[in-house]
Amino acid sequence: LNFIDLMVRQGNIDNPPKTPLVPGFECSGIVESLGDSVKGFEIGDRVMAFVNYNAWAEVVCTPVEFVYKIPDDMNFSEAAAFPMNFVTAYMMLFEVANLREGMSVLVHSAGGGVGQAVAQLCSTIPNVTVFGTASSFKHEAIKNSVTHLFDRNADYVQEVKRISTDGVDIVLDCLCGENTGKGLSLLKPLGTYILYGSSNMVTGETKSFFSFAKSWWQVEKVNPIKLYEENKVIAGFSLLNLLFKQNRGGLIKGVMDKLLNLYNSKKIKPVVDSLWALEEVKEAMQRIHDRGNIGKLILDVEKAPTPLMANDSTETSEAGEEEEDHEGDNENKERMPFIQ
């Protein structure tokens, strides 16, 4: 599961697909059959793949350019967690922002799948300082992956400036809303702000026009003259558009080759939060919605549903001040199939 899946479900994307629809954009599994012209793969190969929807299924069909072999010591759960997070993080850091030795990076949702991938990739470059925001209950688990960690509800702008008076070189923003202006204000001259998501547009159990509009109107209105005067770069990144609308599968394959080399060198490793049965997709999506995960949530077609537990996810989750009350919370007890 990815946060984009929540946005698809709520229709908070351009040209949302019509129902009925099988969601999901990445998966892992075993090759069952090949097209007549396919080369480089055999039936029985362990692979991971990008899919333009339809990934949440027992059988998936996708063009060969989006398929990659799984390293021998990577399991299927890690493989399903690998492509989107690490390719997104790598492309933003190295292809868009040109991360180099001694730079500084601010990443939001540092405990999520992309946030953890960003932190790991930054550690492959000498003397990179990583500032991260995350819910306070995640800090203990992720404190070793970032240099400076702040509560997501705190005034992180002042905290960053206290440590680095002239700001940071790279801002990676998956939140949007008021964080756009804050991120731009923190950029050093020649710094790069990259928007790669808008999770603040998803707030309630169901789509709320007013919460959506509130987040949208908080977005900083960008003045090109001001960018010119301050020597700042503002960019956007969408891996799915790059793959499925802009035909850059060859570029992504080159990035995957580099990432798999880093994995084989034990320099990066996907972080899996938990495994869920297909029947548990509601609870799994709620965990992402509440920002309760550290790393990736995986739907496992072979997993049986976990019995309900007494605790309710909304009590310990990062619902935040803007979250709306969920109807039926007393009945919606979360299953928590954590990986130890």
Which structural domain, as residue segments, surrounds residue 48? 3-299
35 part of a folded domain: yes
- For the segment 126-160, what is each residue's pLDDT rounded down to a tens digit? 999 999 999 888 999 899 999 999 998 888 999 99
Better pLDDT: 340 or 68:
68
- For the segment 282-329, what is each residue's pLDDT rounded down to a tens digit? 999 999 888 888 989 999 999 988 876 544 443 333 333 333 333 334
318 part of a folded domain: no
pLDDT value for 202: 53
Task: Give 156's contacts (C-beta < 8 A, 6+ positions apart).
Answer: 106, 131, 133, 150, 182
- For the segment 169-187, what is each residue's pLDDT rounded down to a tens digit? 999 998 877 778 888 999 9
Residue type, 90: Y
Asked if residues 337 and 275 have their Cβ atoms less than 8 Å apart, the reply is yes
3-state class (DSSP) for residue 73: coil
Helix, strand, coil content of the chain in percent (nearest 5): 35, 15, 50
3-state class (DSSP) for residue 13: coil
The residue among 249, 320, 269 whose CA lies nearest residue 290 is 320
292 part of a folded domain: yes
305 part of a folded domain: no
Strand 104-107 and strand 129-134: the pairing is parallel
pTM: 0.85
314 part of a folded domain: no
d(CA 197, CA 60): 26
306 part of a folded domain: no
Q: What is the DSSP letter of 270?
A: P
Tally of domains within the chain: 1
- For the segment 204-258, what is each residue's pLDDT rounded down to a tens digit? 544 455 455 555 455 566 778 888 899 999 999 999 999 999 999 999 999 999 9
